[in-house]
Structure 1
């Protein structure tokens, strides 16, 4: 007598896994914001923020941001992306995620173009706003650019972009298309930063409401530029991270020496001006596709 056996059936997931699989984007965005905000609470309440707690993070502005901001930055976007990927795709999905994170996707010329065009665009925007030509920076500033960029890649780039771009953007684009995806991700990416405006990172409790509003417009516009680079480069995460961190590195390392008479408001508005103009260009030139190849049909 021949006994036939049916192939093993996949086991049902846990209730939590099932819920995450049904709405991965909702889970990612909710966790990215709430986990970072929760981790930032001590920094916001400390002497570096609202002053509710009579304790200040050590190390000055740079040290306090590393200790107060960076843990929440890592816990939010990249932590949420890893959690949701693991829950929805398992170990195989996490291995693929790691491979995508290290995939260059484009020739080295792209990296050179980004590394040069970002400071060039921001210098032109700053000169237009301040009405002054940039000064010649000291050799020490030029020497610090590359090490500063490496630090920014490890901190800002690695903390944020694996979540907002690598995880969220492809899923959003498949469902809503590039313009809407860039809009939603840009708004949530900007909103994620908002509690930090209560700290020295963003100006503190007395900061003018105009500043976070300008920041939100900037992140929204820059999201379209980031989306275009992400799509056009074949989703090269190293290149996307370079684009993001080149902005931070320019203002952290070089801007003060290039424009010694400039103000903090000038930096904010220079980035706003450059981002809005660049977003307008890529939207017009790509007719709203933002570099995403048309689906054959």
Structure 2
């Protein structure tokens, strides 16, 4: 592969060849079909771990137990274990079996690839709240209110927390493991469609809980979420490719959205409904995705092989 321009030269990675060591039948199956195994394990492990949360009073109410700590803490206790057991655990397991220690070392190197231009971090950190603010303003026809000092003080610590929770749980699997392999095999556009749809579908059991407004499922809201993950995946693919596959930067992009909605938007737009904030995320994602698709002619920042 050729290199992407990130303020320094960065070599885009392609998946390593399988570890040549002798394998069991199961190991051979994982080595031949790493993507199938990754996607299957990511769904299976997360959905099994989320079952108590779905069945609890925080969800369907079949199990008469409520996860403690109120709305925020109960979601962390109910959602985060399954998030960690799914994408990141599956990526590590499949990488270790299929590619051995060298694959795990390559995985670690991409996960710690911090040395991209500081302009990338600044651009992502500022553009996400700016895009979401503009989209919310367009939908509500209201100018944003300057948030209080407490929000500004909490913003960076909240972003760090989101990086450790949401970012670290999801992106090492969906973007770090799946995206390079999918792009190498099918190209950036198909890879984005598949990963985006599967990433969205992975969340579906959570719509039966308070996380997704459950236990009564709103089909329109669920479809809107799926459309948003698909459009936002195109934006993430572009950042992933143009930054030379910098996972810290991709995680920052993802978690900046979560952090803005968790900490800032309710103070900037008082009385804003949850539905309107979801519409704003969809509007911003679709708009940016369309611009990137047209500007890159569907390549989404992936250089053409020489």
TM-score of Structure 1 vs Structure 2, range by shorter chain: over 0.9
Alpha-carbon separation, structure 2, partners of 1:93 and 1:295? 22
Q: More relative contact order in 1 or in 2 (CA 8 Å, sep 6+)?
A: 2
Q: How do 1:55-94 and structure 2 match up within 5 A?
A: 55-94=65-104
Q: 1:5 corresponds to which residue?
A: none
Q: 1:7 corresponds to which residue?
A: none
Q: 1:247 corresponds to which residue?
A: 257
Q: 1:6 corresponds to which residue?
A: none
Alpha-carbon separation, structure 2, partners of 1:230 and 1:100? 11
Over alpha carbons, which structure has the higher Rg?
A: 1
Q: 1:180 corresponds to which residue?
A: 190
CA deviations 1:49-100 (Å, max 9, x no partner) are 0000110000111111111100000000000000000000112211221111
Indicate the RMSD between aligned Cα atoms, in angstroms: 0.8
Q: 1:215 corresponds to which residue?
A: 225
Q: 2:248 corresponds to which residue?
A: 238
1:95 to 100, 105, 112: 105
TM-score by length of 2: 0.93
Structure 2 spans left out of the alignment, 5+ residues: 1-19
Alpha-carbon separation, structure 1, partners of 2:107 and 2:271? 45
Structure 1 spans left out of the alignment, 5+ residues: 1-9
Alpha-carbon separation, structure 1, partners of 2:36 and 2:24? 18
CA shift at 1:11, angstroms?
A: 5.2
1:152 to 140, 162, 186: 162
TM-score by length of 1: 0.95
1:256 to 244, 248, 266: 266
CA shift at 1:261, angstroms?
A: 2.1
CA deviations 1:255-292 (Å, max 9, x no partner) are 10011121000110000000000100000000111000
- Detail structure 1 runs of 4+ shifted over 3 Å in the superposition: none
CA deviations 1:130-155 (Å, max 9, x no partner) are 11111111100111100000000000
CA shift at 1:207, angstroms?
A: 3.5
Q: 1:21 corresponds to which residue?
A: 31
